[in-house]
Structure 1
Amino acid sequence: MKKNKSKVLQGGHRILIALFAMFLSLGAFAQKIPVTGQVVDSNNEPIIGASVSEKGTTNGTITDIDGQFTLNVDEGVTLLITYVGFKPQEIKASKNIKVTLEENTELLDEVVVIGYGTVKRKDVTTAISTVSTKDMDQRPIISAGQAIQGKAAGVSVIQPNGTPGGELSIRVRGTTSFNGSNDPLYVVDGVPVDNINFLAPNDIASMQILKDASSAAIYGSRAANGVIIISTKAGQSGNAKVSFNTQLGLNKVSNSIKSLNAAQYKELQDEIGGAKVPEGTTDVTDWFDEVYSTGVTQSYQVSVSDGTDKLKYFLSAGYLDEKGVLDAAFFKRYSFRANIDNQVRKWLNISANVSYTDNTNNGITTGQGSNRGGVVLSVINLPTSIGIYKDEEAGLYNRSFYGMNISNPIESLQNSKNNKTKENRLIASGNILLTFIPELTLKSSFTLDRRNSLQTGFTPPVHADDRDDWGNAWDNRNMNTVLTFDNILTYNKTFNKHGLELMGGSSWTDSDYTNSWINGSHYRSDQIKTLNAANKISWDGTGSGASQWGIMSYIGRAAYNYDSKYLFTANVRADGSSKLHPDHRWGTFPSFSAAWRISSEEFMQGLDWLDDLKIRGGWGQTGNQSGIGDYAYLQRYNIRRIEWFKEDGNGDVQENALPTISQANLPTRDLKWETTTQTNIGVDLTALNNRLTINMDYYYKRTKDMLMWVTLPTGAAAANSIQRNEGEMTNKGFEFSVNSRNFEGEFSWTTDFNISFNRNKLEKLALQKIYNDAWPSDVLKTAIVRNQPGRSLGGFYGYISDGVDPETGDLIYRDVNGNGKKDAGDRTFIGDPNPDFTYGLTNTFSWKNFNLSIFIQGSYGNDVYNASRIDTEGMYDGKNQSTRVLNRWRIPGQITDVPRANFNIENSSYFVEDGSYLRIKDISLSYNFKGSLLKKLGVSRLQPYFTATNLVTWTSYTGMDPEVNQWGNSGAVQGVDWGTYPHSKSYVFGLNVEF
């Protein structure tokens, strides 16, 4: 928003914003006189970067770090002084002048980006949140999605694990799809993309989130989960600006789980009757210290921008290197961006945006249970009495842990260094804007989005008396090219108090995907890691594939505005998708919204404390086709290769053997769009001379014809699965946000707070009534998640545990069905991963040159299924356990909440915990250096800063972190912790320089 800058100018933010307001300085052609002066605010503080120009000409300059300027002008002319956040001022030119700019308290003229256009904030009729980007260069943000967490009401951002470069789970107003994607649509500089991992956060200029259907419906088919519109930085006319940002971060595990020492482990095993541990066994290895280390993050970003009234450019390049707390885990990203805008003629504007990124990471085996090689759990489950190596000189790792099937985490990490996933992505778009008359424009855009991915891995051969591993390797490649061609015609006319906008156009999208994979084994040594050195190439693990899809769309919008008092907007989009059946391929997605600015009515006059009050409401429909294959409605087949080189029963080689073909699925002749209908009512209020802003929204969303995979009874057909429109789901909720300027002056304090309530419910399913999911342990034998109508998604299902029986030490399982015994009928819902509400609070303080920002974020009322405890507290075999089992039941009559060794373990509420948390997410402290030396060097910003992330977390959760989901971005499974890569505390030192 256009914020009041008079006090903020005392912090570093004033320099950044000032440099964005520069205009070109040109010499004059007539007789000139030198004019010098200073521009200050109402507190007599210099304004840096204010524009000073000769009115009616392009002759101008900007103020320096002391607010001073010099300009040669014609004698007797009028000077125009402007700066963002202040009212423009005109003054007669004289040799030495001082100008005091008056604050512009009208914050509602800010222009926000909407679908295929812009609108003044005061004229918005829909639910749109703006995410501040002003402190993004002072936070250790790897992905742009992290900048949203806790910053926008109605938007939930969860980082399911702490893996370097790991994905985020972003939900706008709840989960709307069961099997499909629940990610919002990302639109970067007008280009729809599937994720924003490629985007360097420092390149972002603005972020808007379209939350309701009336705002998002213009994107129709892909907007069911909301839309996040991102605009990257552009060049500004004026002096060239060079910006540099660097960060160095140190990362430590936020929380650890301690294991039993050697003596405690032996005592437990004696009780279980498990591992035969020799007497006198001592501690040899601290597995936690061996596996975890201090992660280091380095980030460097440089940009150059400049412009004239005709040509503007912005160039940036960046490098990010994140080394994880697990030694082998890493994420690296190289990025480059070029944004160019050229006003060729008054009627012709040409612009181009080019973004290229190259990133690399590796996979670390976590969250798969210790008996399957999960590093996180194996650290706890390995006995401390056994060393890392069987033969350190020979490089042979120990694999014998009292007969248990637990991978050595050091060996796993070492091998994972050979596993890499590389991806490079090029997004290039060209835009032409034709202005036929000032009110009528046509914008044509063509975009190429090309991604190349290479995934390689190598496990070395190891031969010893206890093993005979021959080594294996793999090479998986894919390329995806998406072409988009948009043509948008816009008519915008204002006459008297009436405003009218008409927009219409088309959008064409085409996607082409290819992939190939190859696997090999039997290596001579670990020195040559290429597939060329493999002696065997898998005959059935090698192949290639390809697929295509396309969308054709037609778009329309009409908006009417009477004196910014009565506002109405209607959108419609028609989409045709190749993924859906031809008879149901086209979907039409309309929306309507209206707003009434009550504060402009005569009966509201006299309320001096009230600046603006607006009521708005909207209704709309959006579509979804994600989560289904490119040929979802068609009959598809599986092809199985026959081992032609093997002999048949007669001893003959089957040289003429042909592959077998089997039905893969059932065709769906009525497959159509998944459609979400949403109603929204909102109130926007600003008061106390724009020092207080409040936004409130209530919404109701209903998703019909959910696209789902349905499993049919065995024997019903050759294939027993089908993709079809299966069910309905609802989300309803309330959002509240408040922004306040609490103190102004030499000391300033601002507060931003938001809170969101959402209730999700699966209303109905057609064919398959119950979906079971998430089997985190072979011990339990049952799924821990059940989805069925009448419940919210992701509910945990099992037995209710009523504590430990003091007489037996076993868990007491509640007799839910009342038949006097424990059976399957006693299983019920035992937890809900969906929070009652989420919230975020940011307080920003400024005093002289110091700036302090404290960001608090949290969730309340969500449960977490701590499946890790099955392996770390189950006490059923020879695995080491956490120190919590020291409180286990041992004698009759003992009162404890930890059952006996070898207790009657079941999938139950015993493993369900309260996942609520309150976290100090970021504390940032910065200082803005000033002085004559910097002025002489041409440095307009020198700002060192320190940021602590995930500093403190208040929670009753006993796991390593409550912000977790081993199933990642799944909609059907949420809040499950199963040896998940832990989150980290980060301590970041950084520097911002501009000149």
Structure 2
Amino acid sequence: MIFLKFKSKLYFLFVWQMIFFFHLSAQSTDPISGRVTDARTQEPLIGVSVYQKGTTNGTVTDVEGRFTLSAPADAILVFQYLGYTSQEVPVASGSLTIALEPTENVLEDVIVIGYGSVRRGDVTTAISSVSTEDLEQRPIVNVGQALQGRAAGVSVMQPSGTPGGEMSIRVRGTTSFNGSNDPLYVVDGVPVDNIKFLSPNDISDIQILKDASSAAIYGSRAANGVVLITTKSGTTGQARISLNGQLTHNIVDNSFEVLNTEQYRELQKEIGMINLPESLTDKTDWFKEAYQTGRLENYQLSISDGTEKLKYYLSGGYVNEKGVLNAAFFKRYNFRANIENKVRSWLTVNANINYSDYNNNGVSTGTGANRGGVVLSVVNTPTYAPIWDESNPAQYYNNFFGISNITSPLENLARSANNKYRENRLLAAGSALFTFLPNLNLKSSFALDRRNAVNTTFLDPISTAWGRNQFGEGSDTRNMNTVLTWDNVLTYKTNFDRHNLETMVGSSWTDSKYTNNYIYGSHYRNDLIQTLNAANKISWDGTGSGASEWGIMSYFARAMYNFDSRYLLTANLRADGSSKIHPDLRWGYFPSLSAAWRISSESFMQDVTWIDDLKIRGGWGQTGNQSGIGDYAFLQRYSISRIPWYEEGNANAVPSISPSNLRTRDLKWETTTQSNVGIDVTTFNNRLTVAMDYYHKKTTDMLMYVSLPEGQTASSIVRNEGEMTNKGFEFAVSSKNMRNNFIWDTDFNISFNRNKLDKLALQQIYSTAVTSETVNDPVVRNEPGRPLGGFFGYISDGVDPETGELMYRDLNTDGVISSSDRTYIGDPNPKFTYGMTNNFSWKNFDLSIFIQGSQGNDIFNASRMETEGMYDGKNQTTRVLDRWQIPGQITDVPKANFIMRNSTYFVEDGSYLRLKNISLAYNFSVEKLKRLGVTRIQPYLSASNLLTLTKYTGMDPEVNQWGNSGAVQGIDWGTYPHSRSFVVGINLGF
């Protein structure tokens, strides 16, 4: 019976549509022509949608802004173009001339949210939009660089200047101890783990979901916020060809002054390590030998076109960056195709394919046996040393008078030169949009994300000391990761009177499979064949294979209601079941609720004409986290060790197995609960927009790796261990300062965040980050009641004039300096971060100035332990020329061989203000060239990191040798420095 009723309704709908069609066909039509221009510049607008109101009868403007359309004499034509105010014009005889005004009302913009979109003015949550207008004029390789300083509440740092280096992105602070703190990236609706593969030139829109009420729709993967990225697609109108080419030169000019040979000789006499011969003189400037002018080439080409039925966007690009350190490089090839076809009035299909191939190598810096790697060896290598061994020119010089821990920077670079990481990534997605009724549709999407990576290393058996020690060594590691995602989303919209309601329900299925194989060999032939077939020894422990799987099944729903866009309410609920969590606790439920009141729409505000919009927002929600733990975290896992079969008595031996962890029977979701209150104000005819937010985030059941006491069957366990809080305030303002022949816009944001580790269950103290083999004491300590990443050590009260030793404070007043006198000596968390962009336009010139900074964060300059420690035969910086040498001398540099500890002596203020980018572009008038198909010629100049104001004495204050770690931050230990970049480029359109 229900089916028969539904069938009869469809029949009635079909008859009604046929009657409507014949009614339209019976009307007489006349050809209407015209031209559409920009009201401000009088330039023609290409691709403006022109259609008869209430119908699908329409067209688009051509390259000269002209159109032709047949319509009845009493029809009304609608003109719509992105970024301009729409117009409705009655049909008139003859030719129409339409001048569209650029829109100044950002409240009418439609922005992307999770599994949908919404009018900006109706947003009830904390969402930041990032401008993409100047991306093609900046030397940006990673999309994360486009976010830095552009959004309130979003801290972006590039811990290292390595070509193609990863970005550290935090949305409203660090929420996890061992797990990932990166936001979830969603590219065209597909969740991905990173955005390294994506070309910034392909991006049309970036939205950041910051609070739980906006991000909860992504549930278990949204605890760290969500970055929604929409790539460019085809538009109706004339086919467009865009070409962007840029050449960038990168330089590092913030170098260290080092001791010359004579000064080094005197220092070594005091240390008592080397009696340097008087015949030795300066031979090598290691900074000039190790560093070069880096170069980045970036070429991007796109072609797009479209009709009302079919639209497409094709792009391809090539990036080639050579680092300022000789061996460092990054290359990327990328291809993208977005195709949309309106197959029927009720069916639209879309295909989105992205392929990228990128490779780079790692230059040794920082931790472990590298002891600062290339960057510090530039300082530590004495200037008397030549590059090559004079007795054997095929070998790097390594005769440092018995000092074994000195390796020249060029030898360090040689160690890295053949370490290459290459990955190709295919992200292919297809979707079908079924429109059952004008206000009811179903979107089904399927995506494949496949990554193949090959990491190879090779060290020849001749040129380097380590290579000779191993008789050459090489390795080959291969990984393949395949993630499948299937989403189904049903959306219903309705409105009656002034009531507007949108509901959405959906499901998401994700399946991941990972495999890896690795092999290591040594003892190579001397003719340098870079293949493992030429290695004589294959490692027992360094060779093997592995595989793992994980999956998530999710169900979600959302309801958005507003009355007259005055009272707004949004509710979300998501349920996630993950294979990583114990089966008894596998399902997590993540609700959220937000509301807004548009005060400016109330009758008592009608006389306040200078306020265009005033809205108060509030929201609460929960999100989850499962990243950072293994695919089988709750299970008992084992380690396998091979036994050499060729040794006596092992002919029939089998591999040994031992427990690697304890099973966790109560492992559950890490959950973040967040509350947010915000105010949005737009004033002075949309000239000034202000957004303010206060938030409070509480993370509970943190997923952590916990060390177990000795005597257990295993050394660690994964468990829900602790709690952490982040709270803060954000302020963002956007102003249109001048709007005449001279245009000036300003965007400013500032963010304050306070982090605190509230509670730990089993292990109360986590110490890590040993930065010197001499001190051999962790410099970072995390415990309840403190922010993450605090530096722990001794307070230094300067140099004792009588002894030349650093004076360490006796905190417990027992008369002895011991480990009991250690305390917290620095905090790497900034008090606030900020960014400001000023855009100027005058005639055909465009100028953009972007500054960005951080205030109140400390840096532990571990590099100074190696460059000012004066404890062995390594060369030092000229700062040690001020060292204490005689009793009574007043100085702030201790004597040679002073007692060195982790102390405030190495803690520095890491605050900085940086002129991050300045770009100047000129837009040539192409009116005379349009006959040749040229629509745009825009050459530009750009400079990045042009000026940095800071008290920090290291090479760069934007640094963390531990990369993207949440538990360790703000440590400089020979970190690859950032470059000053100068760009020449051109944008062409056809």
The two structures share one fold, judged by TM-score above 0.5: yes
Q: Which residue of 2 aligns with 1:509?
A: 510
Find the aligned partners of 2:944 and 2:41 in 1 and give their Cα distance: 36
Q: Which runs of 5+ in 1 are unaligned?
A: 1-28, 648-652
- 1:462 matched to 2:457? The reply is no
Task: Supply the distance in 1 between the matched residues of 2:565 and 2:705 (Cα, whole angstroms).
Answer: 48
- 2:372–2:974 contact (8 Å) kept in structure 1: no
Residue 749 of structure 1 is matched in structure 2 by 744
Determine helix, strand or coil for the equivalent of 2:939: strand
Sequence identity (%):
64
User: Residue 414 of structure 1: CA displacement?
Assistant: 2.7
**In structure 1, distance between residues paired with 2:950 and 2:93:** 65
> How far apart are 1:412 and its partner, in Å?
2.6
SS at structure 2 position matched to 1:122: helix
CA-CA distance at 1:45 after TM superposition: 3.4
Asked whether the 8 Å contact 1:371–1:407 carries over to 2, the reply is no
- Greater shift in the superposed pair: 90-99 or 596-605: 90-99
**Separation of aligned partners in 1, 2:172 and 2:843:** 40
Paired position in structure 1 for 2:245: 246
C-alpha spacing 1:529/1:39, structure 2 compared with 1 (3 Å): closer
Name the residue aligned to 2:694: 698
2-structure distance, mates of 1:754, 1:491: 36
Please say which of residues 76-85 and 984-993 is displaced more in the overlay: 76-85
Question: Equivalent residue for 2:140?
Answer: 141
2-structure distance, mates of 1:953, 1:424? 36
Look up the match of 2:782: 787
Counterpart mapping for 1:70-469 below 5 A: 71=68, 80-83=78-81, 84-90=83-89, 92-95=91-94, 98-102=97-101, 104-368=103-367, 372=371, 374-391=373-390, 394-404=393-403, 405-462=405-462, 469=470
Per-residue deviation, residues 491-540 of structure 1 (Å, max 9, x unmatched): 11111111111111111111100001011111112431101111122233
After superposition, the Cα gap between the structure-2 partners of 1:314 and 1:154, relative to the gap in structure 1 and judged at 3 Å, is same
Give yes or no for contact 1:793–1:971 (8 Å, CA) kept in 2: yes
For 2:396 and 2:927, locate their aligned partners in 1 and report how far apart those are by CA, in whole Å.
Answer: 62
Confirm whether residue 803 of structure 1 aligns to residue 798 of structure 2: yes
Structure 1 residue 274 displacement after superposition:
1.6
User: Partner of 1:645 in structure 2?
Assistant: 646
1:923 paired residue number = 918
Q: Aligned partners of 2:244 and 2:133: how far apart in 1?
A: 14
Q: Tell me what 1:855 maps to.
A: 850
The answer to whether 1:912 aligns with 2:913 is no
1:52–1:165 CA distance, 2 compared to 1 (3 A): closer
**Matched position secondary structure for 2:412:** helix
Cα 1:565/1:422, change in 2 over 3 Å: same
Counterpart CA distance in 2 for 1:929 and 1:210 is: 38
C-alpha contact (below 8 Å) 1:36/1:96 kept by paired residues: yes
How far apart, CA to CA, are the structure 2 residues paired with 1:790 and 1:974? 18
How many Å apart are 1:254 and its aligned residue?
A: 4.6
Distance 1:413 1:604 in 2: 67
Aligned length: 958
Letter in 1 for 2:963: G
Structure-2 change in CA distance of 1:465 and 1:565 (3 Å):
closer
Are 2:290 and 2:409, in contact at CA under 8 Å, matched by a contact in 1?
Answer: yes
The reply on whether 1:39 has 2:37 as its aligned counterpart is yes
Partner amino acid, structure 2, of 1:485? W
1:933-953 CA distance string (max 9 Å, x none)? 322222111101111000000
Secondary structure in structure 2 of the residue aligned to 1:108: helix
**Contact 1:842–1:853, Cα closer than 8 Å, also in 2:** yes
Quick one: distance in 1 between partners of 2:707 and 2:529? 45
1:633 Cα deviation after fit: 0.6
TM-score (norm 2): 0.94
1:34 deviates by 8.0
Query: Aligned partners of 1:697, 1:547: CA distance in 2, in Å?
Result: 41
Q: Give the superposition deviation at 1:60.
A: 3.8
CA shift, 1:95, in A, is 4.5
Q: Name the SS of the counterpart of 1:535 in structure 2.
A: strand
Indicate if the aligned counterparts of 2:207 and 2:228 stay in contact, CA closer than 8 A.
Answer: yes
1:391 is displaced (CA, Å) by 3.4
The whole-number CA distance in structure 1 between the counterparts of 2:370 and 2:70 is 80
Amino acid at match of 1:191: V
Please tell me whether the aligned partners of residues 89 and 101 of structure 1 are also in contact (alpha carbons under 8 angstroms).
Answer: no
Aligned-partner SS, 2:410: helix
Q: Which amino acid aligns with 1:182?
A: N
- How has the CA–CA distance of structure 1 residues 557 and 642 changed in structure 2, closer, same or farther, with 3 Å as cutoff? same
Q: Distance in 2 between matches of 1:675 and 1:462?
A: 54
The letter of the residue matching 2:706 is V
Distance 1:75 1:216, change over 3 A: closer
1:725 & 1:191 partners in 2: Cα distance?
A: 29
Q: Which amino acid aligns with 1:578?
A: S
For residues 636 and 36 of structure 1, the distance between their equivalents in structure 2, rounded to whole angstroms, comes to 73
> Residues 439 and 493 of structure 1 are in contact (CA less than 8 Å); yes or no, is this contact kept in structure 2?
yes
Give deviations 1:248-283, integer Å, cap 9, x for gaps: 000001521121111111111111112221114311
**What TM-score comes out, normalization by structure 1 length?**
0.94
Where does residue 17 of structure 2 map in the other structure? none
Q: Which amino acid aligns with 1:318?
A: G
Q: Deviations over 1:309-344 (max 9, x none)?
A: 111111111110111000110000010111111111
**2:900 partner SS:** coil
Aligned to 1:578: 579
* Contact 2:558/2:570 (<8 A) preserved: yes
Aligned-pair distance for 1:392?
8.0
CA contact (8 A) 1:372 1:406 kept: no
Q: Name the CA distance, whole Å, in 2 between partners of 1:73 and 1:849.
A: 37
Separation of aligned partners in 2, 1:465 and 1:827: 39
Letter in 1 for 2:784: P
* Counterpart code for 2:43: P
Change in 2 beyond 3 A, CA 1:371/1:348: closer
Amino acid at match of 2:188: D
**SS of equivalent to 2:140:** coil
1:574 CA drift (Å): 0.7
RMSD of aligned alpha carbons: 1.9
Q: Which residue of 2 aligns with 1:26?
A: none
- Asked if structure 2 preserves the Cα contact closer than 8 Å seen for 1:35 and 1:93, the reply is no
Quote the offset at 1:469 in angstroms. Answer: 4.5
Show the counterpart of 1:617. 618
Paired residues of 2:84 and 2:100 also in contact (CA < 8 A): no
- Identify the residue that residue 567 of structure 2 maps to in structure 1: 566
Distance (Å, rounded) in 2 between the aligned partners of 1:393 and 1:656:
47
Offset, 1:30? 8.9
Is 1:602 the equivalent of 2:603?
yes
Residue by residue over 1:175-225, the C-alpha shift from the partner in whole angstroms, topping out at 9 and shown as x without a partner, is: 000000000000000000000001110000100000000000010001000
SS in 2 for 1:522: strand
1:100-135 Cα offsets, whole Å, 9 max, x none, are 434544321211111111111111100000101111
Q: Which residue of 1 aligns with 2:954?
A: 959
C-alpha distance in 1, partners of 2:232/2:727? Answer: 35
Name structure 2 gaps, 5 residues minimum: 1-26
- SS of residue matched to 1:885: helix
Residue of structure 1 equivalent to 2:968: 973
* Local SS of the residue matching 1:145: helix
The separation in 1 between residues aligned to 2:346 and 2:29, in whole angstroms, is 33
Question: Structure 1 852/153 Cα, relative in aligned 2: closer, same or farther at 3 Å?
Answer: same
Question: Is the contact between residue 462 and residue 469 of structure 1 (CA under 8 Å) also seen in structure 2?
Answer: no
* C-alpha contact 2:381 2:407 (8 A) present in aligned 1: no
Q: What is the 5 A alignment of 1:652-671?
A: 653-671=649-667
Look up the match of 1:866: 861
C-alpha change, 1:103 and 1:473, in structure 2 (3 Å) is: closer
